[in-house]
């Protein structure tokens, strides 16, 4: 198969012929029809993720067709159209038994713990637990956006964030997950304040339902701006980028008893990020994390997609060939562009 591979962190990745993967007894091999390019892939390439062993094939936002199944797989067959959450769960640990597969104790993430989907084929573990059937009328490029950003945003806004109609919701960072959150919060009846440094990203946020956009490159105090715009602060605020600055701005932009949800990964050198915790005490804020979404939670989201309330298809702004992926991966750090880029390995 053809795949994007890198030998050293930060050194240019390249497209190469690699052996086709084989399914584990409880796993499958999926023919990758579309796979999203995500900032997490860039972090992994740069060496910010300790789980990655070199050489490595990135990619965790995939959709495709089951090509081969392991001997113990009972619920999936070759030919099935599927996607997976980026957290593939074991199905048997205490977290999984409680229904919290998104924080599985023995999780495997394609493109981090093992070779991922910037390839024509990818092997996936515990297929009966993790594979999600794609509706017949959903394009692969759209389905690829579900597993990481859209499902992550859905859980962050709806389940962890407990959004309610009429609330003010601030979204810091309007990349893939942030734009998804804007769309989902707006569809839930919330009034959304979108924050980003990119005018293009803010244009998309407006298109996806943001009531107010804040250009952080021209607004030194984004938290103060949000408190002004919302009459005291947001009820719910997400750091969808993952940086000390956006995390602090999200917490500082909340009103009393507001909820902050940390969605963007915070890969700082020492693994800790300063948080304005004094404010959390004084205002009785809730600080929550959100980490993907379990496969069993997809139907409620897919129903809203099927009825047209949510439009993940609109997030996909660019499709590229596998050969263009190494450069696009490198550009995620400095010039990620607006919207979601999807790689089509067989095109």
Give the interface with Zn ion as residue ranges (CB under 5 A).
38, 40, 61, 89-90, 93, 96, 104, 148
Task: Report the SS3 class of residue 264.
Answer: coil
Please identify, using beta-carbon distances, which residue of 276 and 339 lies nearer to Zn ion.
339
Contacts 24+ apart (CB under 8 A), 270-277: 273/244, 273/247, 274/244, 274/248, 275/247, 275/248, 275/251, 276/248, 276/251, 276/252
Please identify, using beta-carbon distances, which residue of 126 and 227 lies nearer to Zn ion.
126
Q: How far is the CB of 97 from Zn ion (least distance, A)?
A: 8
Q: How far is the CB of 41 from Zn ion (least distance, A)?
A: 7
245: left (phi over 0), alpha (psi -120 to 50) or beta: alpha
Q: What number of CA atoms fall less than 13 Å from residue 202's CA on the CB side?
A: 17
Please identify, using beta-carbon distances, which residue of 177 and 236 lies nearer to Zn ion.
177
Cβ-based neighbour number of residue 25 at 10 Å: 9
Neighbour-count burial of 246, counting CB atoms closer than 10 A to its CB (0-12 exposed, 13-18 middle, 19+ buried): buried
Q: How far is the CB of 38 from Zn ion (least distance, A)?
A: 3
Q: How far is the CB of 152 from Zn ion (least distance, A)?
A: 8
Q: Give the angle 101-161-308 at the CA atoms, nearest 5°.
A: 85
Q: How far is the CB of 337 from Zn ion (least distance, A)?
A: 15
Q: How far is the CB of 62 from Zn ion (least distance, A)?
A: 10
Please identify, using beta-carbon distances, which residue of 190 and 322 lies nearer to Zn ion.
322
Strands 14-17 and 2-5 turn out to be: antiparallel
Please identify, using beta-carbon distances, which residue of 87 and 251 lies nearer to Zn ion.
87
Q: How far is the CB of 161 from Zn ion (least distance, A)?
A: 19
Q: How far is the CB of 107 from Zn ion (least distance, A)?
A: 6
Task: Report the SS3 class of residue 91.
Answer: coil
For residues 183 and 209, the answer to whether their CB atoms sit within 8 Å is yes
Please identify, using beta-carbon distances, which residue of 93 and 287 lies nearer to Zn ion.
93
DSSP 8-state secondary structure symbol assigned to residue 302: H
Give the 3-state secondary structure percentages of the chain, helix then strand then coil, rounded to 5.
Answer: 30, 25, 45
Cβ-based neighbour number of residue 242 at 10 Å: 22
Please identify, using beta-carbon distances, which residue of 26 and 61 lies nearer to Zn ion.
61
Number of helices and strands in the chain (H, E): 12, 15
Please identify, using beta-carbon distances, which residue of 100 and 215 lies nearer to Zn ion.
100
């Amino acid at each position: 198969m053809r795949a994007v591979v890198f030998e050293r962190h930060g050194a240019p990745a390249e497209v190469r012929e690699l052996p086709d993967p084989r399914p584990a007894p409880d796993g499958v091999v999926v023919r990758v029809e579309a796979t999203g390019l995500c900032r997490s892939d860039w972090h992994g390439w740069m060496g910010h993720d300790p789980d990655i062993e070199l050489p490595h094939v990135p990619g965790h936002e995939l959709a495709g067709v089951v090509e081969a199944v392991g001997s113990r797989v009972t619920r999936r067959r070759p030919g099935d159209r599927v996607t997976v959450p980026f957290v593939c769960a074991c199905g048997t640990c205490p977290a999984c038994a409680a229904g919290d597969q998104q924080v599985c104790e023995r999780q495997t993430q394609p493109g981090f713990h093992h070779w991922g989907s910037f390839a024509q084929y990818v092997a996936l573990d515990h297929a009966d637990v993790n594979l999600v059937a794609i509706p017949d009328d959903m394009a692969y490029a759209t389905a690829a956006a579900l597993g990481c950003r859209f499902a992550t945003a859905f859980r962050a806004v709806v389940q962890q964030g407990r959004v309610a109609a009429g609330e003010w919701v601030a979204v810091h960072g309007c990349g893939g997950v942030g734009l998804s959150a804007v769309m989902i919060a707006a569809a839930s009846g919330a009034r959304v304040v979108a924050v980003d440094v990119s005018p293009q990203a803010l244009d998309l946020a407006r298109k996806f339902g943001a009531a107010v956009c804040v250009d952080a490159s021209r607004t030194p105090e984004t938290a103060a701006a949000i408190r002004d715009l919302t009459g005291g602060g947001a009820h719910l605020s997400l750091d969808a980028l993952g940086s000390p600055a956006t995390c602090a701005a999200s917490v500082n932009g909340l009103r009393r008893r507001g909820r902050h949800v940390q969605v963007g990964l915070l890969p700082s050198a020492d693994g800790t990020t300063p948080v304005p915790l004094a404010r959390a005490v004084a205002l009785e804020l809730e600080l929550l994390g959100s980490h993907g979404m379990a496969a069993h939670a997809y139907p409620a989201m897919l129903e809203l997609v099927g009825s047209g309330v949510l439009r993940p298809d609109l997030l996909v702004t660019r499709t590229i060939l596998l050969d263009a992926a190494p450069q696009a991966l490198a550009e995620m750090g400095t010039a990620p562009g607006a919207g979601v880029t999807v790689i089509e390995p067989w095109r």
